[in-house]
Structure 1
Amino acid sequence: MRRGLMLVLVLAVLVRLALWEQLPRQGWISDEAEYLAAADWLAHGRGFAWYQGWLWTRAPIYPLFLASHIALFGFNLTPIYLSQLVLSLINVLLVAALAGLVVRHEARPTPPNGWRGLPAVPIVAAGLAAVYLPFASYPQIILSETLYLTFLLSGFVALGWHALRGRGHWLALLGAGGLLGMATLTRGLTLGMLPLIVIWLVWLHRREQRTLRTAALAALLFAGVSGGIIATWSSYASRTFGGLILVDTTGAYNLLLGARTAHDGTRGDTPTRNFVQALLNPNLSQNERQSLLSDSCGYQRNDPQLLAALGQPAAEITPAQRQRLMTSEGLCLLQAAPAAFIRKSSSELVDLFQINYTGAERMTSGFSLGRLPVGYTLALFLAEDTLYVVGLGLAVAGFGLWWVRQSAPPLTTLIGLWWLYNLLTAPILFAINRFRIPLMPFACIYAALLLVWLWQRAGGSFPLRGIPRPALLTAAVLFVIASTPYAYLQQAPAAWASYFGPYPGSLANTQIALAQRSTYLHEQQITAALGRGDAATARRLIEQQPGLDLWRIAAEPLLLGLEGQPAQGLARLPDPAELDATRNWRASVVRGDLLRQTGDLAGARAAFTPGFVDDANPVEWAWQWLYPPPTTRVDLGGNLDLGYISGFYLGEGDPSGGGTFRWTAAHARVLFPQQGGAMQQVCLRYDGRGLPADLPLPTLTLAYAAGNAVKAAPAIPFGTVPLRRTVDEACLPLPATPLGADLVLELTTPAFTPAATDLLAQQGIQAGQLRRLGVRLDWVELRPQ
């Protein structure tokens, strides 16, 4: 068995190494930005103050886990990913250990007839956990699932050891209380499971004919340790956040979100966020706050608590008070439409079992354009979706087989309670792919049990004989729900589709992603040629394969501009009214670039300025696609800087600073096309007034690269600028560069995480994208020395 586990562990390592730095990210996803922002503040000694200005508060363990890494290694994600990778390997071993306890304890005194292969169950279960894609990919995602599974599985292993009455089983019970207390402080939803475990402990001891005193002692020990850990945090959180908070306030927010979704009949978090924003954002006027609350249930019913809060300054409303108001609003909505909430929860229960191909954690955005690598596309389909759909039916059948044949074995009963608890609570809120993650390790165990059972009976007739019919029926129903073969009755887009069926079914989407991959790679070559101003290469590549219609809208006009025909390029674009109506920011940016080439700067500003362009903040897109006209001065935020800059955030007008500004990220670049030469200096104007007062003043480091294809070339440092908390200018001599070469300046500075209001302000495409701010720049200029 040890050799088998070692092979499984090697397999798990290989799978994770194959995924290392290969996830097709396009920015932060889901709750990553929030976790990192809060952890960064923790690492800098600010406690949990970041959550004072956020929509909810969080359980503390995962932010503390992240903060410890940031404190030791700086804002570097690699150490976090490595730690989570190690935890994911431990989780594979914990699955094996738990499977071993299931078959060791619950097959006593001798294995039942036909189960000679029981020792293989832990190896098969661990093998399934080793290759299941979310277990292997989540270590490179800043979400709590990997750490949470470590606490959860360790706690179940400890409870299993206690049930086995092995050596030190009372210490194992104490450990289980501690581990599951920590699991609760990682994900607050676990809190409701703890009373069920207490009841299970009493049942376990009474079932084995131990005294009521022994049963009560076991229950009290577990409850005392887990409750003590949780109470310690609850005391701190209640003092910090201005009222009683057991773990966090996400439950209140999710209750309101679920109730609002049911009440309105549509998914979307805008009404819920508006409700909380009115109680949170100090920058809103009283009329704006009242407008945001006007359609809320409590406001329409003149809820005295809500009206009183509306009369308070938002800055004085504590997270605990917001928790009470969110809970009250959620209950008000439930009372207003109870039937709608039941229908919504039933629909969410079905969704919980189905595949959402474009779920944020899967990073599949742009799959239909061919953006996903072939290996990742196949891994999603085979190692996640196929394994899930097949494993779901196997696990349910295996669970039913084991539970009935072993007469309600204790550990299997506990796992069944965990499954039921999640199935009852998740649909009350909402269902997303990652809500299945805490269920899947246990599914691996019972799928392995059934696979071993079927292997043992492979030579006989009716291999499914012996599996309880209710279990077979349930497994079949869930398999059909998850796989959706009936979705072929619909045309694409098929609302029923999950695994099978037309788009957006997993199989259909996989075929689309694979079919478009070669076109995407070809398009990337054309984009690179356009971005470096290589018109000849771009023309040759476009003639070989023009690419998708959506993509050609930008490429062909830009190529005409590079070939000295910007007017013809403009003629290929829709008119401004159509761009505005369709909110086509890409075509609007291309239009601005072509107008800039013709010298029509007013028209270029008009094309770069619309709100739908700002919402996309297309700085990086323009950096990749555009080769702007030569210039010696880049005015940041002046509506003509797109194409010249990378690593900058949305522009800001600031009359008090006497200019328009953009914040840099930790690393930023500025392009000066064809400006290489000798005897030059770099001058810049910055605004240091927004630098945090509790952090040391940073130093801006400048570096340069010159030549062809310099946008991504390594840069050579040539000077530093110590920043001050004022508006100031600085100039540094630039080393000689080849005459007429493209010149890129790289600006590097320690970045900081702003308050939660900054993340809340990110809207549209930028929603959920954490800004790590470096220095606020007005302009960068090349001057003769």
Structure 2
Amino acid sequence: MTHRSQARIFLLIILALALGLRLILWSQPLHEPANDEVEYITVARDLLEGRGWSFYEQYHWLRAPLYPLFLAASWRLVGDDGWPYATRALHLAALPNILLSVVSVYLTYALTMRLVKHQQSALLAALIAAVLWTNATFASLYMSETLFTVLFQVGMLMLLHAADQQPASQRWLLVIAAGAALGLAALTRSLALLFLLVAALWLAFQVLRRNPSGDVRRRLTVPLLTATLFLLSTGMVIAPWTIRNYQAYGGFILIETGLSYNLWVFNEPREDRDTIHRILEGISNPVERSNYATARGLERLREDPAILVRKLWPNWVFLARVKPIQDRFLMEHYVADVDLPLFVAALISDDLLYLLITIGAIIGLAHAVRIRNTPSDQQFHQSCHLPVAPAVLCLLWIGYAIATMLLTHGEARYRHFLFPTLIPYAAWTFTILTQRIACFERRRLLMIAPLVCIFLWTVLTAYPWAWAGENLARGSRALIGDVWMALGAPDRAARAYLSALSVKATPDGWLRLGHAHLARGEIAQARIAYRAAWDASRVYFIASARLGDLERSLGNLDEARRAFAGYYADEQRVTDWSWRMLGRDPPSSLDVGDGLDFGYVGGVYPAEELQGVRARWSAGRALLRLGSATTNTQALLTLRLAAPHPERNAVPARICVDGTCRSISLSADWRTCTFIVNPQHTTILVEVESPTFTAADGRRLGVLIDRAHLTVLVAGSE
């Protein structure tokens, strides 16, 4: 097997690893949207439902358009398979982004090959990109970082190839492709916008450098034409959105208005953040809103120009530090505990790997831009050589991006945009310099030592050590308790859970203890633990639903209803979670929508007062759990249904029980339907399928479900 074939096999394994890791993280229940996800999801939904960009008529900025369009297209592609609109379909809509993230791993390999021209380094770079926690989690987040990274990597690859010695026709195609890709990247995150000018100048200089002789006029004309063509291609990509903005708002907005917002909010304004948002959201026209925010920001800077200097160090800390933000872990609810294996994986493949990438990249880039080579042996020189021009382009991007963040607003997740240019040089450092340390000039170590020290000092002093230690101690003790529970030793598990609670009392810690008490038959103690879990965080609907399930099983129906209702809980989330996690020992009679049906109904929307009763709409495919006292005995299934569709008098529906189906016709009036069934298990699953219509709020509504009841007809034995 040739060396190239081996490299391809290793690359395929790395890509498979990247896909597997991302799918494992994605396969968890849909995470709670955080940060900019809420905005992107809302805009994508507006686009799908024909409301266009109306969200930005009442928001504090106008966002770059490409990612909301991508998310809306992903959402439309996966469709809606009958589950509530904002859960199942949205979860599936992350799959195209996951595929993009895997493509980004391959592009990391290709970009590293072009930057450092070393296959082992390229494979290591792909492996780093595959396991870097930032990349893996952002693949499942509804955020623009992954799409931007792919477009930026494609643009950089095309730009680097265009700078090589190429036939004229091929160079023009590469220049156009580079401009289009980087233009699309700017339409995803406008951070790249001014870098387009930097890239154009770099490209012109490389073309000029490759033609050192000849007619002076021709030497200058070709680079100028190359840079112009690059900028024209970016302009052709961006222009339609700019023209649309002018037509919609009557003023000039090139891509977005985030800069004007940052200019006011992050330059020590007199007003607090809520007041600023209230003022900006009261201005419906984004052009007027942008002009107002810009004027207020510039006014503040004229009052105190030193603000720009004072913000540099805080923004550097915000950018370089490790911060345990919400979307660091893909959690169904961000109050929930992070299990120890997941937490340790992030410490290694996020925090530690981030340090290694940055330090390795600093060393590699410093080596690449050296002016002269000290080794006299030519073969030794070749093994240590790195192309200078590509490294300069990467340094220009890194310097530009960091300077932009320092002068506007820095956040830890923004370093995501630096990784495409840091990882290749870090991988080269780990594969080459670790083998041939003599390649690196000692005096360069002295030059970069202050930068490395500043970086390390920033990260280590700002690192949340207490948070890490607390989660490690709590998580290890909780894991021991989980092991004892799995081994059937709830007494020992309870002791381990109490030890975990002594480190930090969390809602999940109390829930674990409650589970152990239940396993020991200690109902009163379990109830106390569940209530403590809910008291620890009233917004944690999982704790309130667990308490509601226990109160329901004890016959305390009023307390159960109050617990299931939670504290401003999203009933849709409670319904979906309860369907997955609760539903043991279902009743034979179910009053759908009475506040006690959680765990027994799925594929339905929150309960409403409809047609004189409290019932639930299905989303096209509703599922009900009912309990049967006997098996292999005939029973009568009774369902009370209605289908008040606005454009249909008769709505077909199909009722399935244990694989046996029957078709019926429903109308707007309530109908009681009866079926003879032969339960094979003590729990039967009733499926109600029907066509849907789209309501004014965007929900896809099927049929109304009021009641379900199962009555044994003939007593028998199993």
Contact 1:357 1:364 in 2 (8 A): no
Matched residue type, 1:420 = G
Query: CA deviation digits over 1:662-696, x for unaligned, max 9?
Result: 5555655444445776122211356656xxx9x99
Match of 1:177 among 164, 176, 179: 179
Structure 1 5/736 Cα, relative in aligned 2: closer, same or farther at 3 Å? same
Matched residue type, 2:371 = R
- Once the two structures are overlaid, the 10-residue window that deviates more, 230-239 or 18-27, is 18-27
Matched, 1:545 2:493: yes
Q: How many angstroms apart in 2 are the aligned matches of 1:130 and 1:585?
A: 34
Matched, 1:479 2:456: yes
Q: How many angstroms apart in 2 are the aligned matches of 1:642 and 1:342?
A: 56
1:226 offset after TM fit, Å? Answer: 0.7
Q: Paired residue for 2:200?
A: 198
Is the partner of 1:404 in helix, strand or coil? coil
Is the partner of 1:27 in helix, strand or coil? coil
Uncovered stretches (5+) of structure 1, i.e. residues with no partner: 105-117, 280-308, 310-316, 488-495, 527-539, 706-715, 759-770
Matched, 1:144 2:87: no
- Once the two structures are overlaid, the 10-residue window that deviates more, 642-651 or 416-425, is 642-651
Contact 2:22 2:139 in 1 (8 A): no
Matched, 1:248 2:256: yes
Q: How many angstroms apart in 2 are the aligned matches of 1:592 and 1:342?
A: 55
Contact 2:362 2:448 in 1 (8 A): yes
Q: How many angstroms apart in 1 are the aligned matches of 2:142 and 2:622?
A: 24
Contact 2:340 2:472 in 1 (8 A): no
Matched residue type, 2:79 = G
Query: CA deviation digits over 1:685-713, x for unaligned, max 9?
Result: 56656xxx9x99997654445xxxxxxxx
5 Å matches for 1:33-182?
Answer: 34-35=39-40, 38-39=43-44, 42=47, 48=53, 56-75=61-80, 83-84=96-97, 86-103=99-116, 120-167=120-167, 168-182=170-184
Is the partner of 2:64 in helix, strand or coil? coil
Q: Paired residue for 2:380?
A: none
Structure 1 332/592 Cα, relative in aligned 2: closer, same or farther at 3 Å? farther
1:169 offset after TM fit, Å? Answer: 2.2
Matched residue type, 1:516 = A
Q: Paired residue for 2:716?
A: none
1:240 offset after TM fit, Å? Answer: 4.2
Q: How many angstroms apart in 1 are the aligned matches of 2:51 and 2:321?
A: 41
Query: CA deviation digits over 1:330-371, x for unaligned, max 9?
Result: 556767887677655532321222222444043268899765
Match of 1:684 among 637, 641, 644: 641
Matched residue type, 1:239 = Q
Contact 1:683 1:782 in 2 (8 A): no
Q: How many angstroms apart in 2 are the aligned matches of 1:604 and 1:132?
A: 43
Q: Paired residue for 1:718?
A: 661
Is the partner of 1:405 in helix, strand or coil? coil
Q: How many angstroms apart in 2 are the aligned matches of 1:585 and 1:672?
A: 24
1:71 offset after TM fit, Å? Answer: 4.6
Contact 1:630 1:675 in 2 (8 A): no
Matched, 1:780 2:707: yes
Contact 2:531 2:547 in 1 (8 A): no
Structure 1 618/270 Cα, relative in aligned 2: closer, same or farther at 3 Å? farther
Contact 2:640 2:705 in 1 (8 A): no
Match of 2:357 among 366, 391, 404: 391
Matched residue type, 2:636 = M
Matched residue type, 2:635 = A
Matched residue type, 2:225 = L
5 Å matches for 1:246-645?
Answer: 246-253=254-261, 258=266, 274-275=278-279, 278-279=281-282, 309=283, 317-325=284-292, 327=294, 343=310, 346-363=313-330, 371-372=338-339, 374=341, 376-405=342-371, 409-428=388-407, 430-458=409-437, 465-467=442-444, 469-482=446-459, 484=460, 487=461, 496-497=462-463, 501-504=465-468, 509=471, 512-520=474-482, 542-543=490-491, 545-546=493-494, 547=497, 550-551=507-508, 553=510, 579=535, 601-602=557-558, 604-609=560-565, 611-613=567-569, 618-620=574-576, 622-623=578-579, 624-625=581-582, 630=587, 632-636=589-593, 638-645=594-601
Structure 1 720/455 Cα, relative in aligned 2: closer, same or farther at 3 Å? same
Q: How many angstroms apart in 2 are the aligned matches of 1:590 and 1:86?
A: 36
Structure 1 354/83 Cα, relative in aligned 2: closer, same or farther at 3 Å? same
Matched, 1:11 2:7: no
Query: CA deviation digits over 1:431-476, x for unaligned, max 9?
Result: 4444222211211222233335524534x5x966152533232123
1:644 offset after TM fit, Å? Answer: 3.8
Structure 1 722/395 Cα, relative in aligned 2: closer, same or farther at 3 Å? farther
Q: How many angstroms apart in 2 are the aligned matches of 1:670 and 1:446?
A: 56
1:512 offset after TM fit, Å? Answer: 5.0
Matched residue type, 1:62 = Y
Is the partner of 1:355 in helix, strand or coil? coil
Structure 1 350/161 Cα, relative in aligned 2: closer, same or farther at 3 Å? same
1:35 offset after TM fit, Å? Answer: 4.1
Match of 2:239 among 231, 237, 257: 231
Matched residue type, 2:709 = L
Contact 1:61 1:186 in 2 (8 A): yes
Matched residue type, 1:363 = L
Is the partner of 1:683 in helix, strand or coil? strand
Q: How many angstroms apart in 1 are the aligned matches of 2:293 and 2:693?
A: 31
Structure 1 626/73 Cα, relative in aligned 2: closer, same or farther at 3 Å? closer
Q: How many angstroms apart in 2 are the aligned matches of 1:631 and 1:48?
A: 48
Is the partner of 1:718 in helix, strand or coil? strand
Is the partner of 1:679 in helix, strand or coil? strand
Q: How many angstroms apart in 2 are the aligned matches of 1:585 and 1:69?
A: 29
Measured on the aligned residues, the alpha-carbon RMSD in Å equals: 4.8
Is the partner of 2:152 in helix, strand or coil? helix
Contact 1:12 1:131 in 2 (8 A): no
Q: How many angstroms apart in 2 are the aligned matches of 1:556 and 1:238?
A: 60
Structure 1 717/193 Cα, relative in aligned 2: closer, same or farther at 3 Å? farther
Structure 1 773/603 Cα, relative in aligned 2: closer, same or farther at 3 Å? same
1:10 offset after TM fit, Å? Answer: 2.0
1:6 offset after TM fit, Å? Answer: 1.2
Structure 1 239/479 Cα, relative in aligned 2: closer, same or farther at 3 Å? same
Query: CA deviation digits over 1:16-65, x for unaligned, max 9?
Result: 24315311455243444554554466567765566666665443333444
Count of matched residue positions in the alignment of Structure 1 and Structure 2: 665
Structure 1 74/479 Cα, relative in aligned 2: closer, same or farther at 3 Å? same
Q: How many angstroms apart in 2 are the aligned matches of 1:124 and 1:572?
A: 48
Structure 1 679/78 Cα, relative in aligned 2: closer, same or farther at 3 Å? closer
Structure 1 62/586 Cα, relative in aligned 2: closer, same or farther at 3 Å? closer
Q: How many angstroms apart in 1 are the aligned matches of 2:287 and 2:693?
A: 27
